[in-house]
Copies of this chain bind each other. A is one copy, B any other.
Amino acid sequence: MSLIIIGTVAFDAIETPFGKTDKIVGGAATYASLAASYFYNKTKIVAVVGDDFQQADIDTFKEHGIDTEGLQIKAGEKSFFWSGKYHNDMNSRDTLITELNVLENFDPIIPESYQDCEYLMLGNLTPQVQQTVIKRLKNRPKLIVMDTMNFWMDIMMDDLLETIKMVDVLTINDAEARQLSGEYSLVKAARKILAMGPKYLIIKKGEHGALLFHEDQIFSAPALPLADVFDPTGAGDSFAGGFIGYMAKVQEVNFHNMKNAIIYGSALASFCVEKFGTEKLLNLTAEEVSERIQEFIKLSAFTIEVE
């Protein structure tokens, strides 16, 4: 039994008010698999890179127990590259460079050893590629989580809706939930999106936390207020990875466990932004994670005896 994470493995060059990096390893599958690795030791990635990707970079995954058999390395090609600059508020950014490179013709090959997949995280990619992964798994996973973004809503809504129909959990941000549903109220937006197929909807609100919708239930998770956000890159992917890693650990898919998974995902996202790139995600201890969870508990707990 395993957890498969599909998404980008890439090089990023990031500039924030606190500094800038050269090309460092990034990508949704990188952040998500590192985050998941703190909860589940059978995490496997499906991704594609060029031969500019170093053995040392691959070793980083292995050191975290992440299976890289599904990481294709294309000789003579270059890895996906993204460069961006964050504004002073750290909530908005400009994309400076996007070079698709190997991603342009990404055919997600699923190794035979991955066919034991029970948990599947579809990182943000074209809806067709996401759908291909589902179809190439001989047995439908117990839980399929899909991340996507406004870009696919703009240019290929039909394909997107077809893929959304096939998944259990959709994660998008509040603006995307409004765009996808045509509803401003997130309650109404959630009703419409749940009618599109997914049984659970997670609306990510960045510094305002996240909302989980399932049938007529809603859970509101806080975000940890941070004094310093060093680099927001990968926060959403760390959230998704922590979320599905925790679900794979606890095994049972229900609303109770998903609420907790959102808190664990939020905790991993809060670590991610404390340093540049994946740096903070590379060396977390179990104690640090436990302490962070305690902070979330303290942050949102209140006790009212209703009369």
Binding site for B on A (CB under 8 A): 88-90, 184-188, 191, 205, 207-209, 211, 217-223, 225-229, 256, 259-260, 263, 286, 290, 293-294, 297-300, 302-304, 306-307
Task: Return chain B residues, CB-CB under 8 Å to A184.
Answer: 88-90
Closest 7 CB pairs of A and B: A220-B222, A208-B208, A187-B227, A259-B302, A187-B225, A220-B299, A290-B306
> A231 to B156, alpha carbons, bound, how many Å?
36
Q: Is the CB–CB distance between B226 and A187 below 8 Å?
A: yes
The reply to whether A290 and B263 form a contact with Cβ atoms under 8 Å apart is: no
B227 contacts A185, CB within 8 Å? yes
Residues of the B chain whose Cβ atoms lie less than 8 Å from the Cβ of A211: 225
Contact indicator B218/A299 (Cβ below 8 Å): yes
How many chain copies does the complex carry? 2
A302 to B266, CA, bound (A): 13
Can you sample 6 A-B contacts with CB below 8 Å?
A: A90-B184, A185-B227, A185-B228, A209-B209, A209-B222, A263-B302
A187-B227, A191-B227, A286-B307 provided; 10 other pairs, C-beta below 8 A?
A90-B184, A185-B229, A205-B208, A218-B225, A219-B299, A220-B300, A260-B303, A294-B306, A297-B304, A300-B300
Cβ 8 A contact of A290, one of B186, B209, B286, B307? B307
Q: How far is the CB of A57 from chain B (nearest CB, A)?
A: 31
Q: Check if A219 sits within 8 Å of B304, measured CB to CB.
A: no
Known: A90-B184, A209-B208. A225 touches B220 (CB 8 A): yes
